[in-house]
Chains A and B, each alone.
Chain A
């Protein structure tokens, strides 16, 4: 994604500034193959959001099933509108305010890209919508951390602000051609499809939000069991399928790079799942279904930043390693007793950090050779490790501070945390006036 993106975004600078038809002759031809795959990828990534709604929805108690699913669905509404209004511009416009975020007036309401074709041979609308899906799923992931105890209104305002102040700047730094992390080191910090931008930022923000909002009322002395693991399994399946759009689509091409990313994605997901089953089998004596899908997610999260640069062998190791560390992270959570309800940090934060750091040891040789050429002779994995460390550290620090600020200020205007009464009544009844199921499952 990086190299292509760098070239094509560079080209925009020349194509987009004068909005006239004069340059029509220079417009690259549409590559129907790439366009078709990117359309598919865009749809696949969107499919992950209802997938996530089912995954999270099945894990909460019956009285919160709709409210939890609505967290994902609300993100589809809010983040899409925000993306069209200002998100795309902030993420992929030219540097403003010292590179804090980007801005390009042509991207306001996407008004200037109506007939633009990117150098990759796809209409820019597709790229913009593809990226919009990432902006949707990231805040939806955070919702897993503070599930079962936030007011719907507070959540909506939180994700809108979070998108503007945390996601868009991070996305700009990592993926825009003039973003500073994009240009760190020889070939930039490696974040193929969103290890830092999506998973670390969502995981860390979730953790900060949990610490800010506090645990659920009966945590941890009353057991709070999932209402429908069947739905969780289906949701995890949709996430796995959708992840091919997420990763393989992030090559913004339909060719070799796509195939490499797709293969690495499948390898890491499977390795992660098996590793979880084995660890849990040895540790608890049973291989749970929720454990299997947690392993799938840990593997997928870890391969997300790495899919463009690691080979299948490395992907297997990365997936299994991520599972091991996520498993430990969740055990540690239970020891420390904070209430990251659906393990947004345990899976996405920990898995994202593992992926973004340890991918360094599995980078394919051709990438390192390229990097060495750009750096003018040599580029070692230790130098790249430093770059990755910086990117991870900055993502953690920025999302933690940003989230804390947003919550602190927003909490002055409205109660983000549910009242005790609404929490006991359940999100469904309190905020939506509905119930998820007929008569199954008391509690």
Chain B
């Protein structure tokens, strides 16, 4: 089992969700996060350009069984490539091992519970 954590642009949430659903991945958790990448985004505040030091992003958490790791990360990759413009700040995907999953309703553990 793996935990896939993806940090993506805010505006790409819809297309990533659509792409994941199309790939059969529908169990996701979404957070609004902010952080530093290499990107600097200009915003306008009362006619002045400002560069906020923390950039808002979307963080997806997806727990998957091993055979779905590539499907999931490819779905995210494909969706974020579209309309991206090739600028820095597209985001990252982190994949980490996942020790245990427990479904609260039934108490199932492991792969079954994902």
Verify B44–A439 contact, CB threshold 8 A: no
A-B contacts, CB under 8 A, total: 43
Verify A441–B43 contact, CB threshold 8 A: no
Verify B11–A425 contact, CB threshold 8 A: yes
Contacts A439-B56, A441-B32; is A63 near B11 (CB within 8 Å)? yes
The size bracket of the interface on B is 10 to 19
Contacts of B30 in A (CB 8 A): 442-443
* Chain A 411-443: CB-based contact to B (< 8 A → 1; otherwise 0): 000000000110011100100111100011111
Decide if B26 is an interface residue (CB 8 Å cutoff).
no
Decide if A218 is an interface residue (CB 8 Å cutoff).
yes
6 tightest Cβ-Cβ pairs between the two chains A and B = A425-B11, A433-B44, A442-B32, A421-B83, A442-B30, A424-B11
4 extra A-B contacts, CB within 8 A, seeds A424-B11, A425-B10, A425-B11: A424-B14, A424-B15, A429-B11, A439-B32
Contacts A433-B43, A435-B56; is A442 near B14 (CB within 8 Å)? no
7 contacts between A and B (CB under 8 A): A217-B14, A421-B11, A424-B11, A429-B11, A434-B43, A441-B32, A442-B13
Decide if A222 is an interface residue (CB 8 Å cutoff).
yes
Contacts of B65 in A (CB 8 A): none
Closest to B43 in A: A433
Contacts of A425 in B (CB 8 A): 10-11
The size bracket of the interface on A is 10 to 19
Contacts of A442 in B (CB 8 A): 13, 30-32, 58
* A175, B54: Cα distance in complex, Å: 55
Q: How far is the CB of A221 from chain B (nearest CB, A)?
A: 8
Q: How far is the CB of B111 from chain A (nearest CB, A)?
A: 28
Q: How far is the CB of B21 from chain A (nearest CB, A)?
A: 9
Contacts of B45 in A (CB 8 A): 434
Decide if B12 is an interface residue (CB 8 Å cutoff).
yes
Contacts of B2 in A (CB 8 A): none
Verify B56–A434 contact, CB threshold 8 A: no
Verify B34–A439 contact, CB threshold 8 A: yes
* A111, B31: Cα distance in complex, Å: 57
* A63, B45: Cα distance in complex, Å: 17
The contact of A433 among B14, B31, B42, by CB within 8 Å, is B42
Contacts of A434 in B (CB 8 A): 43-45
Q: How far is the CB of A404 from chain B (nearest CB, A)?
A: 30
Verify B43–A443 contact, CB threshold 8 A: no
Verify A63–B83 contact, CB threshold 8 A: no
* A63, B9: Cα distance in complex, Å: 13
Closest to A422 in B: B11
Residues B37-94 near A (CB distance < 8 A): 42-45, 56, 58, 83
* A432, B14: Cα distance in complex, Å: 21
Contacts of B11 in A (CB 8 A): 63, 421, 424-426, 429
Verify A420–B44 contact, CB threshold 8 A: no
Verify A222–B32 contact, CB threshold 8 A: no
Contacts of B31 in A (CB 8 A): 442
Closest to A421 in B: B83
Contacts of A435 in B (CB 8 A): 43, 56
Contacts of A426 in B (CB 8 A): 11
Q: How far is the CB of A383 from chain B (nearest CB, A)?
A: 55
Closest to A443 in B: B13
Contacts of A440 in B (CB 8 A): 32
